[in-house]
Amino acid sequence: IYFYRKGKTPRRPPPKKPSSNQTDPVGVYCRVRPLGAEDEECCIEVISSTTIQMHTPEGFKTNRNGEYKETQYSFKKVFGVSVSQMELFEHVAKPLVDDLIHGKNGKNKGHISNILEFIIGSSPGQGGLLPRSLDMIFNSIGPYQAKRYVFKTDEKNGMEIQTEVDALLERQRRDNNFSVPKTPSTRLKADPEIADMIKPEEASKLDGVDDDSSYSIFVSYVEIYNNYIYDLLEETQEDAIKNTIHVYSIPPQSKILREDQNHIMYVAGCLEVEVKSAEEAFQVFWRGQKKRKVANTRLNRESSRSHSVFIIKLAQAPLDADGDNVLQDKNQISVSQLCLVDLAGSERTGRTGAEGTRIREAGNINQSLLNLRTCIEILRENQMCGTNKMVPYRDSKITHLFKNYFDGEGKVRMVVCVNPKTDDYEETLLVMRFAEMTQEVEVARPVDRPICGFTPGRRHRNQAFKDELSRRLEERGGPIDPDMPAAANPLILSLPSLPSCELTDPHDDITLPRLIEALKNRQRVKQMLIEDCSKTANMIKSVLQELDTGLISKDNFIQEQNGKLLEKDRIIQGNKAEIERLEKKSKMQEHKIDILQKTTKIFEDDKRSLQHELGTREQRLQRELSEKRRMEQRLHGVISDTQFKWEKECERRVNALQLEMQNKLWVKDEKLKQLKAIVTESKTPGRPEPPPQDRLPPKRSASPSPVPTTTPVRPLHRRSRSAGGEKWVDHKPSSSMDLGTVLQPVIPNAIQVSAPSEKALSKCDRYVLTHQEVASDGEIQTKLIKGEVIKTRGGGQAVQFTDIETLKQELTTCSVAVEMRAGSNMGPGYEHHAVTKRRKP
């Protein structure tokens, strides 16, 4: 992963939010590695420059229809197996190195292990991203680098600046105290040289570098092993005593993460080495690379057991107004950095054959990668759904170190190096899904910040002045008096020359007077020149005074105009404020109007819905009223019919009672007559013989004899028991009506219940239900539904119905009256009174 973070000046209050609202997605690139053998099966196909397709190998899970699933994944750029390192650098790293030199930050990441060929390079002339990035950086800023130790780290992720004298003293002190470690001559393998990795025609250089600034490059190299941070450039005690007789295994001291005053995470106590060339920077990188934790596994001879981070930090400060020295103001220092991250790939112990310590290392690697995925998922959810979930950066060191790149400003680039072998299909599929999800994360775009307000081109003008001065000194053959103005040279040359001053005779009276005369002439010329100079100076002073007066008047005029402009500006600002206030008021009124319109529309909709509901309820009410009238008419008819029926019933019952009373009276009269006749005959002597028994009148019943009906009754079944030995359950519901009929169902030896129960059924053999219903002619009929009680297999009782007896009451068409006349030997007479039966309506 390439991480670039926007340069910030140390010791400034940190901004609460990024200054730019523009964001860029994380750029994800895919590079397909070549197969080891031509006959190996491939599971990846490059469809276009941005899309690849995954083919499921045989033996893996298929879809429901039995077909293999083929999935396509899109990236910002896809590099095939034949891509060159130069093309890869042009697309991935070169734009980020450009941003680094212009003061912007970023991060570049290579995902999965075995990526050294991608970062460093595998053969001469095929240098990877790191050597090409270093070469481009130093080719661009080489002429503008500050001297060593002019920039100095402050141990708190900041930079300090020193004068060139202090920097010189610092160099001498460090050269005396520290000796450069020598590389042993008996090396098994020589360190690669950056000159062998990059062809001269492929060298890159950035145009438009700010030549009014001085630059310095610092590099550091750390690894994250078992979730601990170690400095790969730190000189440990083991390195110091490696060449002695006794070699002690002293573990290195882990580092901690801290947050500086700009809320940027950094590795505290990490060694930052100032480098002045690409070769020196690459040597420092290789020195730390040899200390990195690697191990031999079943899949890789040198498998990375840790995540490594190589940090390139660029410090930039402007030159002073003369363009000669670095400006001694630490607030004007801008620091940006480029991080190259090599993530160790996830491992499955079943494939790698890891044991012991290797299992623990693989577990820590997988856990850190899982936490990175979790952070990416939550960050994407917060950005896409507007949630505010906490991103667990602190769960692992790798995410905690680079949290500022996602929360702040910068650029992040990820290069996924995948192996197309079918054996790595599952691991490649997981990496593809993670890369596709990472592309949806947005990072704030860095914004250029001006450093100072000096005139541009200071370095060029200062260099031109030095070149011109050197040329003139070379023409004159030596240095000139710097105190003598150049305008005085022509005046000195215009003075009369001095005569020869050589005295050959002590009595020479000519040479000295001639010399004195020449000196007097030179004195007069000098005095004249002084007077001319004084006049010229006075004239220049007067002109300068006039110019000053004019300038003062112009300044006063300018100040007056500036005052008027300020007044106009205040008026304009007031007008703008008034306009903004009116615009806000107008927007507020428009908002209120919109609210009122929406409210009116809501009220109108409610009104229409209420009116519709009112009409519906009125129609329902009309229907209910008409239904009520129909029900009233129907009830009136039913009431009249019932009233007529009960009147007839009452009349019938009254006639029956009258007939019964008449029969009783007739019987009593007949008995009295017979008694009277007996008494009379007993008192009269010589009474005749009583008539024979067969001549007596037949005995009359108290009630009229009903018309006999002969209805044959065929038994439905034969009883298996005697009638007297059966026990009945007489079920009469509580809703039954007493009709007052002569015939009443009376069952001996029965248990009367209003609702059947298991207890009652268990004690009886038969069951009868008295049921009343209205017949088709409107009369009430009583049905006796009989059945047998049968025991079930579950221990309960069931009733099997056998037959039904019906007791029906009807109105007769005529009334029958029995009348017995006293003293008559005839039987009772019949009187027929016809009563017409009313039809049902």
Query: DSSP per residue over 662-687, as a string?
Result: HHHHHHHHHHHHHHHHHHHHHHSSSP
Q: Which of 47-51, 226-230, 553-557 has the lowest mean pLDDT?
A: 553-557
Domain-located, residue 103: yes
Highest mean pLDDT among 6-20, 213-227, 476-490, 528-542: 213-227
CB 702 within 8 A of CB 828: no
Residue 180 confidence (pLDDT): 46
All residues at 6 or more sequence positions from 496 whose CB lies less than 8 Å from its CB, including other chains: 518, 521, 522, 525
Domain-located, residue 198: yes
Distance, CA of 82 to CA of 620 (rounded, Å): 83
State the Cα angle at 343 between 339 and 346, rounded to 5°: 165
Domain boundary among 641, 660, 679: 679
CB 174 within 8 A of CB 350: no
Q: Are residues 286 and 372 in the same domain?
A: yes
Q: Are residues 536 and 644 in the same domain?
A: yes
Range of the domain at 505: 492-679
Percent of the chain with pLDDT over 90: 22
Measured from the Cβ of residue 140, the count of other Cβ atoms closer than 10 Å reads: 20
CA 98, 101, 104, 108 dihedral sign is: positive
Strands in 601-733 per DSSP E: 728-731
Strands in 640-779 per DSSP E: 728-731, 750-753, 766-774
Residue 232 confidence (pLDDT): 92
Q: Are residues 384 and 511 in the same domain?
A: no
Highest mean pLDDT among 58-67, 474-483, 562-571: 562-571
State the Cα angle at 77 between 76 and 80, rounded to 5°: 155
Annotate 115-128 with b (16+ C-beta within 10 A) or e (fewer): bbebbbbeeeebbb
Highest mean pLDDT among 122-136, 633-647, 728-742: 633-647
Q: Are residues 220 and 139 in the same domain?
A: yes
Percent of the chain with pLDDT over 70: 76
Q: Are residues 497 and 415 in the same domain?
A: no
Residue 608 confidence (pLDDT): 93
Residue 397 confidence (pLDDT): 92
All residues at 6 or more sequence positions from 153 whose CB lies less than 8 Å from its CB, including other chains: 159, 160, 218, 272
Q: Are residues 518 and 415 in the same domain?
A: no
Please name the residue that has the structure tokens 């790149």.
405
Residue 615 above 90 pLDDT? yes
358: domain CATH number is 3.40.850.10
Task: Sort strands 750-753 and 213-225 into parallel, antiparallel or unpaired.
Answer: unpaired
Per-residue pLDDT, averaged over 620-627, amounts to: 93
Domain-located, residue 99: yes
pLDDT band at 169 (very low <50, low <70, confident <90, very high): confident
Q: Which helix (H) or strand (E) holds 87?
A: helix 85-91
Q: Are residues 361 and 249 in the same domain?
A: yes
Domain-located, residue 784: no
Residue 223 confidence (pLDDT): 93
Total tally of structural domains belonging to the chain:
2
Distance, CA of 684 to CA of 470 (rounded, Å): 201
pLDDT digits (tens, 9 = 90+) for 725-761: 688 888 888 777 777 777 777 888 788 888 888 888 8
Distance, CA of 192 to CA of 371 (rounded, Å): 35
CA 698, 699, 704, 705 dihedral sign is: negative
Residue 472 above 80 pLDDT? no
DSSP state, 127? B
Residue 157 confidence (pLDDT): 87
Distance, CA of 763 to CA of 758 (rounded, Å): 9
Q: Are residues 273 and 403 in the same domain?
A: yes
Domain-located, residue 609: yes
Residue 486 above 50 pLDDT? no
The residue type found at 466 is: K
Q: Are residues 667 and 541 in the same domain?
A: yes
Domain-located, residue 535: yes
Cross-strand bridge partners of residue 295: 303
pLDDT band at 7 (very low <50, low <70, confident <90, very high): low
Residues in the chain: 841
Q: Which residue has the higher pLDDT, 601 or 694?
A: 601
Q: Is the pTM of this model over 0.85?
A: no
Q: Are residues 234 and 146 in the same domain?
A: yes
Domain boundary among 419, 442, 474: 419
Q: Are residues 115 and 220 in the same domain?
A: yes
CA 306, 274, 87, 209 dihedral sign is: positive
DSSP state, 109? E
DSSP state, 709? -
Distance, CA of 370 to CA of 346 (rounded, Å): 9
All residues at 6 or more sequence positions from 648 whose CB lies less than 8 Å from its CB, including other chains: 811, 835, 838
CB 439 within 8 A of CB 28: yes
Per-residue pLDDT, averaged over 660-679, amounts to: 89
Residue 738 confidence (pLDDT): 74
Domain-located, residue 261: yes
Distance, CA of 346 to CA of 305 (rounded, Å): 10
Domain-located, residue 607: yes
Residue 834 confidence (pLDDT): 41
pLDDT band at 617 (very low <50, low <70, confident <90, very high): very high
CB 43 within 8 A of CB 428: yes
Residue 562 confidence (pLDDT): 87
Query: Tokens at residue 447, please?
Result: 């914004």
Residue 181 above 80 pLDDT? no
Per-residue pLDDT, averaged over 452-479, amounts to: 73
Domain boundary among 635, 650, 679: 679
Highest mean pLDDT among 90-99, 418-427, 502-511, 832-841: 90-99
Q: Are residues 400 and 522 in the same domain?
A: no
Residue 477 confidence (pLDDT): 56
Report which of 4, 3, 16, 444 is spatially closest to residue 262, judged by C-alpha positions: 16
